Amino acid sequence: MTTNVADRSPRPQVDLIAGAWLAPVVTLAATLDNPNTGQILQSQLATGADAVEAALVAADSLHRSGEWADVPIEVRSALLEDIAAGLSAQADELAYEDAMATGNAIRVSRAMASYIGPRVSSARRQLETVGLSSDLSADGRQVRLLRHPIGPAAVLAPWNAPTFVGVAKVASALAAGCPVILKPSEWAPAGCQIVAEVIHESLARHRCPTNAFQLVHGAAEVGSQLASDLRIRAISFTGGGPGGRAVAAAAAPHLTALQLELGGHNPAIVLPSANIAATAAALVDGMTKLNGQWCEAPGKILVPEDLHDDLVDALLAELATLRIGHCLAEDTDMGPMAYRLHRERLQAGVDEMIAAGGTARTGSTLPGLGGWFFAPTIITGLAAHQSLHELFGPVVTVHAVGSVDEAIQAAHGPETGLAGFVFGSDEAEAMRTAARIPAGEVRINGCKLADLADGSEQSFWNNAGIGGHGPTDMVRFFQGRQTIGVDDPKLPI
């Protein structure tokens, strides 16, 4: 069992610029706190504009030199496996830092940390599948499809799964041969700090240019400086809609390649054949996973009128079984929200629904620790069209509908597009219903986090973002494609 780890001194924030470790020089107004108690741990820091510019110069110079792009695929693969091993060796430290940054229960953070090294190995496999070139059939003429690194890349990581998401994007950029600058969320810098140390050491061991990876810190100002710079040719961002739109606006003048995962208000359709007890257990698992702070959590539940009350009762009964407590306690099922401002925004969203006529209900008990705890909440009494926006916390709305067709129509919304859920014992009907929900991934009878199967692919539909996830999407995003070859004199035009 983890004990007394909350008394650790916070990990110092350090930039990695052009191969050198430097202290960020800007102190931001906000603080990084212990989410369990509210105790202030340290000020948020940001990289100065001059240091960000130095990072941009280093990344651009390395890309123009071709030194990193020309590293053989075998060397890149070996580098990625070394990084994977280094991150796996640091899994306990990563789990601790992410738990304290997000409020997630340490058991959950430990599980997430165990996937970080394998995710880097996955990027290596993606690289080897996609490759750097291939020959095209051309009646004996020499024609080749080349896959070049698209250019310097910026990875803007979120605070809810900060290390895993940051690593996934950075590993794919490195696999493609792009010099990459990572900016973790200002609310969760520590896990990515460990990642930077591991990557920097691996680059040195494999005699790869250290400028292939750099780390900066800060909030929107630093993100804007990266996103608006002509030298950055690819931006991968995971976060909220307003942040994604700001990134897109900053990148638009230069038509920079974008991959934006922006979340969504994810519908869950309960069919007449659903097992209510099993459905309630799955929905509570989904609405409280990562403390409800994950982009594919269920948000709006659509249930037949005659099952509505039974489902609400079952949901409340499931919530009553949850152990809400200190994120580092081994018996905690759900910890606090990540930071005070997020908890306040979440409460404001619930208050707005209550003012509109909704009833907020919970079956959970909060610990008396202070901190940013929030009781998982079920809101009833609203029409489905009144629940349109993602709250990004352990809150769902429940709405009675008269038919499956009505549920499908209600599932369409301005923020539907990332994920959806269907519950029913008639699997064929559930599959037909799932195919009608406009979202990149729809799960039947469950709310798990990992991919449904090897080879799963999803687009970010509607306002959920730009791009998608798939077996080779991440590496391909950081590659530009070029066809070269001998022209065909027999072509008619």
Say what the pLDDT of residue 1 is: 35
Q: How many domains does the chain have?
A: 2
Say what the pLDDT of residue 363 is: 87
Say what the pLDDT of residue 471 is: 77
C-alpha to C-alpha distance for 24 and 10, rounded to whole angstroms? 15
3: Cβ contacts below 8 Å, ≥ 6 apart: none
Say what the pLDDT of residue 141 is: 94
Give the count of beta carbons closer than 10 Å to the beta carbon of residue 18.
17
Q: What is the pLDDT of residues 152-192, one digit of tens each?
A: 999 999 999 999 999 999 999 999 999 999 999 999 999 99
Residue 487 resides in a domain: no
Question: pTM for this structure?
Answer: 0.95
Asked whether residue 297 falls in the same domain as residue 417, the answer is yes
Query: Helix 116-130 crosses helix 106-114 at what angle (to 10 degrees)?
Result: 30
Residue 462 resides in a domain: no
3-state SS, 280-337, equals: HHHHHHHHHHHHHCCCCCEEEEEEEHHHHHHHHHHHHHHHHCCCECCCCCCCCCECCC
C-alpha to C-alpha distance for 452 and 137, rounded to whole angstroms? 35
Asked whether residue 256 falls in the same domain as residue 273, the answer is no
Residue 373 resides in a domain: yes
Residue 493 resides in a domain: no
User: CA-CA distances (angstroms) from residue 120 to 31, 163, 190, 327?
Assistant: 31, 12, 19, 26
Amino acid present at 130: V
Residue 492 resides in a domain: no
Say what the pLDDT of residue 8 is: 84
* CATH number, domain with residue 220: 3.40.605.10
* CATH number, domain with residue 337: 3.40.309.10
Domain around 165 = 5-262+468-482
Asked whether residue 256 falls in the same domain as residue 303, the answer is no
Asked whether residue 254 falls in the same domain as residue 277, the answer is no
Residue 488 resides in a domain: no
The H-or-E segment that residue 191 falls in is helix 190-205
Asked whether residue 210 falls in the same domain as residue 322, the answer is no
Asked whether residue 112 falls in the same domain as residue 234, the answer is yes
* Backbone φ and ψ of 353, nearest 5°: -70, -35
Asked whether residue 221 falls in the same domain as residue 285, the answer is no
C-alpha to C-alpha distance for 390 and 410, rounded to whole angstroms? 15
Q: What is the pLDDT of residues 27-73, one digit of tens each?
A: 999 999 999 999 999 999 999 999 999 999 999 999 999 999 999 99
CA count, 13 A, side-chain hemisphere, 295: 27
Q: Which residues of the chain have pLDDT under 50?
A: 1-5
**90 in Cβ contact with 117 (< 8 Å):** no
Please work out, in degrees rounded to the nearest 5, the angle formed at the alpha carbon of residue 340 by the alpha carbons of 338 and 344.
Answer: 110
Asked whether residue 272 falls in the same domain as residue 211, the answer is no
Asked whether residue 350 falls in the same domain as residue 251, the answer is no
Asked whether residue 299 falls in the same domain as residue 220, the answer is no
Residue 357 resides in a domain: yes
Residue 369 resides in a domain: yes
**157 in Cβ contact with 185 (< 8 Å):** yes
Asked whether residue 129 falls in the same domain as residue 277, the answer is no
Asked whether residue 425 falls in the same domain as residue 446, the answer is yes
Say what the pLDDT of residue 6 is: 52
